Amino acid sequence: MHQINIGEDLRGKNREIAEENREMLKKHGIFSLNLMSAPGAGKTSLLVKSLPMITDRYRIGVIEGDIQTTRDAERVKKTGVEVYQIQTGGVCHLDAAMIHSALHSLDLDALDILFIENVGNLVCPAEFELGVDGRVMLMSITEGDDKPKKYPLMFSESRLLVFNKIDLLEHVDFDLQKAKAEAAEINPEIEIIDLSCRTGEGLENWISWIEGFYKSCRG
Tens digits of residue pLDDT in 71-116: 999 999 999 999 999 998 878 899 999 999 999 999 999 999 999 9
Contact 150, 185 (CB under 8 A): no
CA distances from 124 to 38, 167, 184 (A): 11, 29, 21
Q: How far apart are CA 154 and CA 13, in angstroms?
A: 21
- Residue 1 is assigned to a structural domain of this protein: no
Give pLDDT tens digits for 135-170.
999 999 999 999 999 999 999 999 999 999 999 999
pTM given for the model: 0.94
What is the number of structural domains in the chain?
1
- Residue 8, pLDDT > 70, answer no
Whether 149 is covered by a domain: the verdict is yes
Enclosing domain of residue 81:
6-218
CATH number at residue 120: 3.40.50.300
User: DSSP string spanning 45-91?
Assistant: HHHHHHGGGTTTTS-EEEEEEESS-SHHHHHHHTTT-EEEEEE-TT-
* Cα(67)–Cα(9) distance, integer angstroms: 24
